[in-house]
Chains A and B, each alone.
With several copies, the nearest count.
Chain A
Amino acid sequence: MVKREDGRKPDEMRPIEIKAGVIKNADGSAMVKFGKTIAIAAVYGPRAMHPRRMQEPDRTVLRCRYSMVPFSTTDRCRPGPSRRSTEISKVTREALEPALFLDEIPKTVIDVFIDVIAADAGTRTTGINAASVALADAGIPMRDLVASVAAGKIGKEVMVDLAGKEEEETSCDVPIAYMPRSKQVTLLQMDGDIPVKDFNDVLKMATKSCEQIYKKQKEALGERWIK
């Protein structure tokens, strides 16, 4: 088995830290660290939807806004939405929606805000992990928690939770989100160049890792309630 840049095993994720209830004003919140990547998520709602023309008569609308703060990256990134962040906001919303019961309170909205305050690969997956815990922290009824991680393949080795220069070396980058209880994939994207059969191995390792993340998410929520 090859050693990775930072000494991890192929199926080993970076050190993970999850903390629920980090933002007092929010209805629910969480901070998640994967190595040097840090995301904070806050949930507000369900609350009345404004402007009214965006209301849905029979369900709650989920809105997500993913954002990277200017100092999160080596080259300072400009504040404000970009095409990249708009796309990630969309797939994040779709990654979370399957876990929620959105037909309970019509004409309302749940807002999920994700700020990536430090970025070293895996910002969207780290953000989804934080958002999922924040939704649970807000007491919003959920079918399941959503866990998320990316996997790839460097040389002949399938590897999970790519970091640092691994992102440039991998032949593919496959971020997924996963609901372990129902074994449903809620986020699936891929960039790269890989045979279909290899994709299956990558996907398998990612879902397995999500099960571990899932445990840590539940622990964090447990700690929050004990406090």
Chain B
Amino acid sequence: MNIQEQFIKDLASKGNRNDGRKEKDYREIIIEKDVIPKAEGSARVKFGDSEVIVGVKMGVGAPFGDKPDSGVMMIGAELSPIASPDFETGPPREDSIELARVVDRGIRESKMIDLEKLCIEKGEKVWMVFIDIQIINHDGNLIDVAALAAVTALHNSKMPTYEKDVVNYEKKTKKLPVRFKPITITVAKISGKFFVDTTLEEENAMDSRVSVAIKDDGNICAVQKGGDSLTESEIHQIFDLASEKAKELRKLIN
């Protein structure tokens, strides 16, 4: 273990952090909407120096065989090499795949998008919703930043029209049918204490983390643990903290 990790751990054991925050403090959160002209919806979200842009694109395609009257939602994430000195070009890595899949589950399981309303012709044609997560700068807590950006972008997406077998992207009249605002909160355990909104430095020193997606009604709709093991009682503590913070963050989406 290097000196920096040890320093973070020592601070954490007393509930302190090297940037002066307390356990439950977030960094400054900045949310910008409609930042990408040609996307159906988009948002740029920053938590301190962590920055993510999410763009929503729509198209028309075939539904899945087992859901002939449902639109299709797909989420991808690219940890662009611009975001971090360690990233390299190549196929999406484990971490970006996990990030996309955790954000996907939070949105999918909460039934945020009303996919039934995206059916054009049963069994033949439905709207496809592509949600692409682009990491611009990586300074920790990427799952929460990406999830917040995705939910914000979806809430501000406008649907193109479909006329005579052609998608008209110039004419956007209706909003994308969305409901709910699932919020994903990742809680990290460092030296036996629990922290939200960890920086990259903190993540290098952390023992484990649990990401929890929480619906407007307080129900949880997705969970993903990473890192080392946890006791049941620790899991409960994490859920309580996540539930508390989700309420705060939900207010930021409009």
Contacts and interface: CB of A to CB of B under 8 A. Distances in A.
B230 A188 contact: yes
Interface of A is mostly: mixed
A36 B229 contact: no
Contact of A71 (B55, B101, B169, B221): B55
Given A70-B76, A83-B100, A98-B228, A191 B137 contact: no
B235 A25 contact: no
A73 B53 CA distance: 15
State which size class the interface on B falls in: 35 or more
Interface string B79-114: 011111100010010100110110001000111000
B110 A185 contact: no
Interface stretch (A4-12, A74-82, A212-220): A74-82
Contact of A86 (B36, B53, B97): B97
Contacts of B57: 70-71, 76
B210 A188 contact: yes
A189 B38 contact: no
A118 B235 contact: no
A207 B37 contact: no
A120 B37 contact: yes
A83 B36 contact: no
B132 interface: yes
Contacts, number: 178
Interface of B: 36-39, 42, 49, 51, 53, 55-57, 59, 76, 78, 80-85, 89, 92, 94, 97-98, 100-101, 105, 109-111, 130, 132, 134, 136-139, 169, 210, 215, 218-232, 235-236, 239-240, 243
Given A22-B136, A26-B82, 10 more contacts: A70-B130, A79-B76, A87-B94, A87-B101, A117-B36, A118-B37, A189-B224, A193-B221, A196-B219, A203-B232
26 contacts: A23-B82, A23-B136, A24-B137, A70-B57, A70-B78, A71-B132, A72-B55, A73-B38, A75-B59, A76-B57, A87-B94, A87-B101, A89-B94, A90-B98, A94-B225, A113-B80, A115-B82, A120-B37, A184-B229, A185-B231, A190-B224, A191-B105, A192-B221, A196-B218, A196-B239, A204-B232
